[in-house]
Amino acid sequence: NKKSVFLGIESSCDETAAAIVARDADGRGEILADVVLSQMEEHAAFGGVVPEIAARAHVEATDRLIAEALEQSGISLSELDGIAATIGPGLIGGLIVGAMSGKAMAYAANKPFYGVNHLEGHALTARLTNGVQFPFLMLLVSGGHTQIVLVKGVGEYERWGTTIDDALGEAFDKTAKLLGLGYPGGPQVEAAAKAGDPKRIALPRPMKGEARLDFSFSGLKTAVRQAAQNLAPLSEQDVADLCAAFQLAVAETLRDRVGRSLARFRAEGLAAEDRPALVVAGGVAANSAIRAVLTSLCENQGFAFVAPPFRLCTDNAVMIAWAGLEREAAGFPADGFEVPVRSRWP
């Protein structure tokens, strides 16, 4: 049972990461090393990711993290079967750092280089962690992305819905900021909401009921701002109630959008097995109110709810190494060293 072993490198946003992952001929994966360095603290003072700071931090950390991953795995550079790095979408400075590191190592060690789409990494993770079979539906909700994607096979993706303005994680972060809570905002909003009354303040459910499967969150954020201005000065209870109302609005919006997507999956006859999977990815998938909604939706509509471990839902290099391995196994040729980085890559 021949194994293939890849180094993966991720640097598209504010995490620098390196990982070593193996895949056997039956498609079973094994994580041999997984190192992630978050730049969260360097960006916290600004309430969001600052591209220039991110690029510098990647330069400082990348080679050290790659060396650490190789050491952790006990695999030498010459024993690798390939090197995969994220080449988009994301912040261009960081992408250049990771992609050039990967290409340089691949060139020096004479290994195939795979340039991976970050979203493909998120999409294929559940096959490593849960052995999920194609086709399945993915809900990606992170600080940079909000998408519903039909995953038909390696390299075969259909985007069914996306946000027309803010990403969901971004909406959590901006809402937290305007309520005076810290960054990243998601966990703070979730914590504050626990003491809040979700029904006291009425907020909109953007896009609810619309046939297209897209999202919109900037109006919701504006509605929170207006409600906060009407209540100012805000008591601790006001903040808790606003957070609870925001989270409920988000959860009900997701119930509608994802519920429709599951129905469409069935209606189009895509379900090969009786319990196809809904896979979640992205940092917002950590939110327990959102998880509760998705879990009950899946139960009602006969889907398996699959959430990879949180560490692999957020940005990491395991998913990049794995995507490279999946591409190799599916017969995709390696990319040449000329393959460019792309900040936008739908």
Return residues touching Zn ion (CB under 5 A). Answer: 142, 315
Tell me whether residue 34 is annotated as binding. no
Say whether the peptide bond before residue 346 is cis (omega within 30 degrees of 0): no
Tell me whether residue 43 is annotated as binding. no
Q: DSSP strand E in the chain: where?
A: 3-10, 15-24, 29-38, 82-88, 113-117, 136-141, 146-153, 156-162, 277-281, 304-306
Q: Is 166 in the site for ligand KG4 (CB under 6 A)?
A: no
Q: Which does 187 bind (CB under 5 to 8 A by kind): Zn ion, ligand KG4, none?
A: ligand KG4
Residue from 7, 192, 248, 284 that binds ligand KG4 (CB under 6 A)? 284
Q: How far is the CB of 118 from Zn ion (least distance, A)?
A: 6
Continuous segment of H or E residues that includes residue 175: helix 168-178
The identity of residue 190, as a single letter, is E
Residue number with CB closer to ligand KG4 (23 or 174): 174
Q: How far is the CB of 184 from ligand KG4 (least distance, A)?
A: 4
Q: How far is the CB of 313 from Zn ion (least distance, A)?
A: 9
Tell me whether residue 185 is annotated as binding. no
- Using the 8-state DSSP alphabet, how is residue 59 labeled? H
Q: Which does 286 bind (CB under 5 to 8 A by kind): ligand KG4, Zn ion, none?
A: ligand KG4
Q: Which does 185 bind (CB under 5 to 8 A by kind): ligand KG4, Zn ion, none?
A: ligand KG4
H helix runs in 74-111, sequence order: 92-109
Distance CA 307, CA 295 (A): 10
Burial (CB count within 10 angstroms: exposed 0-12, middle 13-18, buried 19+), residue 226: exposed
Q: How far is the CB of 300 from ligand KG4 (least distance, A)?
A: 23
Q: Which does 328 bind (CB under 5 to 8 A by kind): Zn ion, ligand KG4, none?
A: none
SS3 at position 226: helix
Tell me whether residue 145 is annotated as binding. no
Nearest to 102 by CA among 77, 71, 76: 77
Q: How far is the CB of 187 from ligand KG4 (least distance, A)?
A: 5
Q: Which does 214 bind (CB under 5 to 8 A by kind): Zn ion, ligand KG4, none?
A: none
Tell me whether residue 38 is annotated as binding. no
Distance CA 308, CA 165 (A): 27
SS3 at position 184: coil
Q: Is 169 in the site for ligand KG4 (CB under 6 A)?
A: yes
Residue number with CB closer to Zn ion (97 or 192): 97
Residue from 82, 198, 282, 308 that binds ligand KG4 (CB under 6 A)? 282
Q: Is 315 in the site for ligand KG4 (CB under 6 A)?
A: yes
Nearest to 136 by CA among 126, 146, 147: 126
Q: How far is the CB of 126 from Zn ion (least distance, A)?
A: 14
Q: Is 142 in the site for ligand KG4 (CB under 6 A)?
A: yes
Tell me whether residue 49 is annotated as binding. no
Q: Three-state SS string across 12-56, please?
A: CCCEEEEEEEEEECCCCEEEEEEEEEECHHHHHCCCCCCHHHHHH
146-153 vs 304-306, strand pairing mode: unpaired
Binding-site residue ranges: 118, 122, 140-144, 173, 186, 190, 287, 315
**Residues in the site for ligand KG4, rule: CB under 6 A?**
13, 142-144, 169-170, 172-173, 184-187, 190, 282-284, 286-287, 314-315
Known binding-site residue numbers for substrate: 140-144, 173, 186, 190, 287
